[in-house]
Every structure is written in structure tokens, then in C-alpha cells.
Structure 1
Amino acid sequence: MPKTTLISPVKRAAGDVTTVAVRKPDVGALRGLKLTDVLQMDVNAISRLLPRITEPSLLPDEVAELDPADFLSLAAEVVGFFVTAEMKAEAEAELRLQ
């Protein structure tokens, strides 16, 4: 599971969290969320999902206080779990043409 290094560490009494791993969500973690909202990186949907799938587990208040760049990095990792190999290949081919 790849880890994301945070620009602004999460402050905790036990020590700052400087890296966060995001695991692939299962259906249970997605419960109560609209997949379209997750795929569109809706802040509310991603904010509800991250505490369920991060290691160390981020608390909802900690997610709300993330640096926007850190939030975007974590959200991009989440969306990446929904991309198929075919979709990745198409995107890479388009980038090579540009």
C-alpha cells in the first residue's frame, strides 16, 4: 500500500502523522456514499470515506483540517482505485500524443 507524505502533518498528542496510506475501499467502506460523488472528488463524500480507509486512521476532524493539497493527494489516490487497466492505458496513450 503506497503512502502519501503530507505537506502539513496531522498533529496528535502521540506524535505527528507525516505519512498516510490509503487502502482500496470495499463495498462496506462505500456504504452511504454515492459513487458519482466519490469519483467527482466531492469534498463531503471523500471526507466521509477517508476515515474508513486510511492508515493510520484519520479522524473526521483531522480530515476537515487537512491542507487542501494533502486532501487532493489523498482524494486522487481514492479515485485511482476505480480506474481500470484499460482506462490507464488510454490515458497514457493520450499523454504520449500531446
Structure 2
Amino acid sequence: MENTQQSVEVEAKEVVLDENTVQLDTPVKRGNTVIEHVTLRKPNSGELRGLHLAELLNWDVGSLIKLLPRICQLNAQEVAQLDPADLVALGGKVTGFLLQKQTKTDASLVA
């Protein structure tokens, strides 16, 4: 039993997340599957249709709930049930997608 537990811990430490992936504090359960990481992709303009950019930049919950299912593996119901801390982490990634590289550099958001 103890060896199994150690191997699981070792495997968990080997997970390398890319810059667009958020490790969830509260994993999402989908049937028998547990989603512990959410990877976002940068939205294109069409995926922003019907949303207000200012609201996304201000992390408006309703706007994030509409956008996130369009750019990640979670559906709208799963996004609506996210832990608030996880929603904030995902919102931070969305904000980064909406800013130009130079703006992030000027604001010291990028090294």
C-alpha cells in the first residue's frame, strides 16, 4: 500500500504545466473523470463575439462563464460550478490573452 502511495506522489510531481494551464484547487468531476488541470487557448475574435472586452478585463463572472467553455475543455455548467479561486486563476490567463505583448512588457507582466 505504501509503495503505491509513493509512486502516485512521484507521478504528480512530474506533471509539468505550460503557461496556459491552470492547476485547479478544487478538481472538476465529470462522471468517472477528475479534471485537475485546465489548459486555455488564446481566443480568436469570433470567440469573443457577444462579450464586452472591458468586462473580460475586469474579470466579470458572467463574461468568463460565457468565454471559458469556448477556449477550454470545460463546459458551461462545469465553469459555473468552479471554485472562485480557480475562476480567478483562469480569469488571469484570459486577461493575459487580451493584452498585447508590448503592453504586458510595459506593465512588467512579462520578463
TM-score category (smaller protein)? 0.7 to 0.9
Q: Secondary structure at the match of 2:89?
A: helix
TM-score calculated relative to the size of structure 2: 0.76
Paired-residue identity, %: 42
Answer 1 or 2: higher relative contact order, Cα 8 Å, separation at least 6: 1
For residues 42 and 89 of structure 2, what CA distance do their matches in structure 1 show?
15
In structure 2, the partner of 1:3 is: 21
- Max radius of gyration: which structure? 2
In structure 1, the partner of 2:38 is: 20
Q: Which runs of 4+ in 1 moved over 6 A?
A: none
For residues 107 and 51 of structure 2, what CA distance do their matches in structure 1 show?
27
TM-score calculated relative to the size of structure 1: 0.85
Could you list the runs of 5+ residues in structure 2 that have no partner in the other structure?
1-17
> Match for 1:16: what amino acid?
V
1:92 positional shift: 1.9
Superposition pairs of residues 71-82 of structure 1, within 5 angstroms: 71-82=87-98
1:91 paired with 2:107, answer yes
* CA shift digits 1:43-81 (9 cap, x unpaired): 100110000001xx2111111110111000001000101
1:7 positional shift: 0.3
Q: How many pairs are equivalent?
A: 91
Could you list the runs of 5+ residues in structure 1 that have no partner in the other structure?
94-98
